[in-house]
Structure 1
């Protein structure tokens, strides 16, 4: 599947199954099921429209500002709302800790069914990765001036941070890229500056759309990628001033 040079029209998950995968991705990234039980999903304050979207879609839940942090929580405590969540993400969660939380902390719900990780799960064929990236992913542009080259090198970078590497390895296997260990924080991160990987990512996100500021970041990142590709084909000079402006705008968004 190729990608279009035109920006795709933004849409939200358009079926119950798509929404379930999207929600599972959100939970696997920055969510958890507490002992109360509650579902809690954390968002950057600039993504506040997403928890309100969840509240509207599920019909239950509250959105709460996190004290002294640039973050908001979506909190679902109502039993009928949790039953909805149970049904939506059943057999769609990928993080082993979230699966354990689901199976041990939601058992009191009337419609509870044990969930498990699906061995044949295909990241590229559903909106799970969109939800996951909304929580822990970032798009970046890097302009590197090397001493052995006259012209600066422009990199389109994608990065995802996690405490463990299991899901990052799944993402690597699906799209390409590399997984690294960060000793200073005892965490792992997925990263790629490969144009081949960028093509795979664009093909995916043009089909399963991000939301809000993450979609804005993606659109700008995508523009830079396309500009570089076009210049490679035409042998024209890159507009480094324009790329620097786009990079600055992306950094200000989130």
Structure 2
């Protein structure tokens, strides 16, 4: 407990060097505790007090007064969760029966994330946990085969049938956002083979279609991390991390610009990574993925991410029981496995 007499002792021990370099303001850090001090200062637990140095006529050197205009400024990290958007605990019913336009956007995003066009063939890579999606696509297209990749926890969908490729081309045409897959179609004369004009990439990301869902399905990661923290009474802070790694920086730059939050970086091998650990970003993503669904293991990872976000909006990440529960959710697996190098 910090009482007024103790504060008086602190103030009495301040010297000329205790003031900031501009000679006007001094910051005092307060310890946590219960206390009551009347005007002119208002104290806040774990806050910071800024005192106004004011020379009074006749006052001896080294003494000072406290301005009645002095204010207390505090950054309360414990209550920041209260302003986060609330979401329902009830998960929207999963929709796997997409319309052709919906499926086309999802497939375009998936191919831009982890697929490529060769001469009369399409390859898409899936993590082992998402293999059910590979078979769903095979069933939806009606052509192609799914193969296990040797020594990898991954599968490959390959379509070499012209009828199947024509169906795929008609679904994804004009729905790419970057030039790379578009240029593959041009290089291998898909327009002449299938008698379609190859439409250019949009160079834009929308939250009103399935493209981002497909792109995230390819190489997105929903990660729950619990790190040690000296500023939290439980000793831990909780982070919700969303990230995507790609060779092509264009989709990631578009995503970074669209969300207007997060960071974009490039590692020494040339791989680009978009990453965000902000709760506000999490809220935007949940609003999107509740409408435009993921599949397989990636969908399970998203549900865990979503569940922890709800706990955070309720302040449970600040309680020991909540931390234990979040640890239990997080240690049951994450989507950090990337298949881009396969």
Q: What is the TM-score of this pair, normalised by structure 2? A: 0.69
Deviates more, 1:243-252 or 1:61-70: 243-252
Task: Tell me how far 1:178 sits from its aligned partner.
Answer: 2.6
Instruction: Provide closer, same or farther for how the CA distance between residues 75 and 84 of structure 1 changes in structure 2, counting only shifts above 3 A.
Output: same
Instruction: Work out whether 1:226 is the aligned partner of 2:290.
Output: no
Deviates more, 1:218-227 or 1:108-117: 108-117
1-side partners of 2:327 and 2:236: how far apart?
12
Aligned to 2:283: 199
Deviates more, 1:238-247 or 1:126-135: 238-247
Aligned to 1:110: 194
Runs of 5+ in structure 2 lacking a partner? 1-84, 338-342
Asked whether the 8 Å contact 2:252–2:274 carries over to 1, the reply is yes
Aligned to 1:10: 94
1-side partners of 2:305 and 2:291: how far apart?
16
Asked whether the 8 Å contact 2:148–2:156 carries over to 1, the reply is yes
Higher relative contact order (CA 8 A, sep 6+): 1
2-side partners of 1:84 and 1:252: how far apart?
30
Task: Tell me how far 1:117 sits from its aligned partner.
Answer: 1.2
Question: Which of 298, 314, 318 is 1:214 aligned to?
Answer: 298
2-side partners of 1:61 and 1:184: how far apart?
36
Runs of 5+ in structure 1 lacking a partner? none
Q: Secondary structure at the match of 2:207?
A: helix
Once the two structures are superposed, the pairs formed by residues 125-204 of structure 1 within 5 Å of their partners are 125-150=208-233, 151-204=235-288
Instruction: Provide closer, same or farther for how the CA distance between residues 235 and 101 of structure 1 changes in structure 2, counting only shifts above 3 A.
Output: closer
Q: What is the TM-score of this pair, normalised by structure 1? A: 0.91
Instruction: Provide closer, same or farther for how the CA distance between residues 235 and 135 of structure 1 changes in structure 2, counting only shifts above 3 A.
Output: closer
Aligned to 2:4: none
Instruction: Provide closer, same or farther for how the CA distance between residues 2 and 226 of structure 1 changes in structure 2, counting only shifts above 3 A.
Output: closer
2-side partners of 1:145 and 1:236: how far apart?
14
Question: Which of 6, 15, 20 is 2:104 aligned to?
Answer: 20
2-side partners of 1:206 and 1:252: how far apart?
18
- Give the alignment's Cα RMSD to 1 decimal: 2.2
Instruction: Provide closer, same or farther for how the CA distance between residues 91 and 3 of structure 1 changes in structure 2, counting only shifts above 3 A.
Output: farther
Task: Tell me how far 1:175 sits from its aligned partner.
Answer: 2.2
Asked whether the 8 Å contact 1:138–1:159 carries over to 2, the reply is yes
1-side partners of 2:321 and 2:277: how far apart?
18
Higher share in helix: 1
Instruction: Provide closer, same or farther for how the CA distance between residues 148 and 101 of structure 1 changes in structure 2, counting only shifts above 3 A.
Output: same
Asked whether the 8 Å contact 1:18–1:127 carries over to 2, the reply is yes
Asked whether the 8 Å contact 1:20–1:88 carries over to 2, the reply is yes
2-side partners of 1:252 and 1:42: how far apart?
15
Asked whether the 8 Å contact 2:222–2:336 carries over to 1, the reply is no
Instruction: Provide closer, same or farther for how the CA distance between residues 122 and 30 of structure 1 changes in structure 2, counting only shifts above 3 A.
Output: closer
Instruction: Provide closer, same or farther for how the CA distance between residues 28 and 13 of structure 1 changes in structure 2, counting only shifts above 3 A.
Output: farther
Asked whether the 8 Å contact 2:228–2:236 carries over to 1, the reply is yes
Residues 96-120 of structure 1, C-alpha deviations (whole Å, 9 max, x = no match): 111100122123423322120125x
Task: Tell me how far 1:31 sits from its aligned partner.
Answer: 0.3
